[in-house]
Amino acid sequence: MSKNVKIRKGANIKLVGEAVEKTVDSQMPSSFSIKPTDFHGTVPKMLLKEGAEVKAGTPIFQDKSNERIKYVSPVSGEIAEIVRGAKRRILEVRILADKEQKPSEGTPFDTSGMERAQVCDILLAGGLWPFIKRRPYDVVADPTEAPKSIFVSGFDSAPLGANIAYLLEGREADFQKGIDALAKMTAGKVHVNVSSGDSSFISKTKNAQINSISGPHPAGNVGIQIHHIDTINKGDVVWTVDAQAVAMIGRYISTGKADFSRKIALVGSEVNDPVYVNTWTGASISSIVSGKTTDGDNRIIGGNVLTGEQLLQDGYLGYYSNMVTVIPEGKESQFVGWIQPNFHKFSLSHSYFSWLMPGKKYRLNTNLNGEGRAFVMSGQYEDVLPMDVYPVHLLKAIMTNDIEKMEGLGIYEVAPEDLALCEYACTSKTEVQSWIRKGLDIAMEELG
């Protein structure tokens, strides 16, 4: 039975630079990268060496702890470089793309009469499995586990978030095919969650429970949706899949061919013409932003401004990114900034007079406007976190490595992105997301 969920806590941060519904093609990147750091908890074991030729869908490395999970090349070409860090840790595998892409070979799959294990095998063989993540812990799912339910968020409530229905325009059949495949992998329900009043094809998806969510960000976060629809308790496993990844799964099942092309939103105040861009997973950032941003000291972010990863001009698009955001760097402090009216700044606590202009959009930069300090018990976190969790107490339990308290305070239910607004609102400038990630790693190691 469908559910209507009203989120009351949270905040919408309105920024300049929202993408218009217009799509342009990026130039074919000369190089691509697959970064093991995108797959938290994965220890890569290389299957190929530098100089090896690959096609789209060729396995490059696998997870040491689960060798069935393989990570594949998004394009045809040659492995140009294996970039290593401290202790020879693999940071990324760079691929020099062929100028003329060699089409991968394959035959369509008919999953209608298949069992769960057969569908899992198809996705594992095709390199699509890493798109499926598990809660708790927010890591790549284990194919041997049977989830009690699977969640797909059909909208993005983050600042300048992409229109998911527009991202999937023309791929409605692929999306449905992907949902049908996911339904084979759980004895429970596939939950497809849409924004209240949504009339797009996503709200008409078959073989899934359609839930309506209303309210401010983080209403679009799948973790918040799970909390209000099918709460995770100790011992539960829930899978989550990004909506565009669902369509990629469906496309692979329909064609049998590896295709890692995707549409992303190029947004932000420093983008000259914020639009949607056709590109590929792991594409070079220069192929996406070159010639499209303003001059000056800008920060390129893979993802949204709250949870995204800082990227350099010679960096690469992340495996799960649906957007690239460009905003100004904030390296200069403002003289007596807290005294000035600051109509151009946004504050959740109404510290600036800009709260008198509720519809205003802001050109914000990366300045923290302060330095780290002790926790201030002000209720700021609770105002923006729509979960039955005590966030400050949970963070203190993580900081003191108190596993029993972490467990009792809801570590199983959260992921770093769910508390991103808490980090934004924090007077103490605490790196909330980093601490939540550390707590999840501790829990995963100690509790399994």
Domain ranges of the chain: 4-10+107-255, 30-97, 380-447
Given the candidates 2.40.10.10, 3.40.50.300, 2.40.50.100, 1.10.1660.10, the CATH classification of the domain at 30-97 is 2.40.50.100
What is the reported pLDDT for 403? 93
- Measure the CA–CA gap between 399 and 421, rounded to whole angstroms: 19
- For residue 292, CA distances in Å to 20, 275, 284, 297, 303 come to 14, 10, 14, 14, 17
Specify whether the CB–CB gap between 257 and 127 falls below 8 A.
no
Q: What is the pLDDT of residue 448?
A: 62
- pLDDT value of position 372: 79
Q: How far, in Å, CA of 73 to CA of 47, rounded? A: 12
pLDDT (0 to 100) of residue 1: 75
Q: Does the global pTM surpass 0.85?
A: yes
Whats the size of the chain, residue-wise?
448
Residue 297, both tokens: 């000291």
Amino acid at 54: V
Q: Which residues contact 407 (CB under 8 A, 6 or more apart)?
A: 234, 443, 447
Structure token digits, residue 222: 């799948």
CA angle, 198 then 203 then 205, to 5°: 165
Distance CA 386, CA 396 (A): 19
Q: How far apart are CA 284 and CA 30, in angstroms?
A: 8
What is the radius of gyration, based on Cα positions, of the chain?
22
Q: Output phi, psi for 219, to 5 deg.
A: -60, -30
The residue assigned the tokens 């990570």 is 71
Task: Please name the amino acid found at residue 132.
Answer: I
Q: Following CA atoms 377, 137, 161, 200 in sequence, which dihedral angle do they give, to the nearest 10 degrees?
A: -120
d(CA 190, CA 179): 8
Query: Could you state, in chain order, the average pLDDT of each consecutive group of 10 residues for the chain (448 residues)?
Result: 94 96 94 96 96 96 96 97 95 95 86 94 97 97 96 98 97 98 97 96 98 98 98 94 98 95 97 98 96 95 97 96 96 67 72 71 87 79 95 95 94 96 92 97 86
Residue 73 contacts by C-beta under 8 Å, 6 or more apart in sequence?
Answer: 32, 34, 54, 55, 56, 57, 58, 60, 95
Which amino acid is residue 371, in one-letter code? Answer: E
Per CATH, the number for 4-10+107-255 is: 3.40.50
Give residue 51's Cα distance to chain centre: 31
Establish whether the linkage from the previous residue to 218 is cis, with ω within 30° of 0.
yes
Among 33, 125, 27, which residue's Cα sits nearest to residue 79? 33
pLDDT of residue 358: 78
What pLDDT does 371 receive? 78
Using N-to-C axis directions, what is the helix angle for 172-183 and 116-126, rounded to 10°? Answer: 130
Could you identify the residue written with the tokens 């601490």? 435
Are the C-beta atoms of 135 and 229 separated by less than 8 Å? no
Q: How many CB atoms lie within 10 A of CB 371?
A: 7
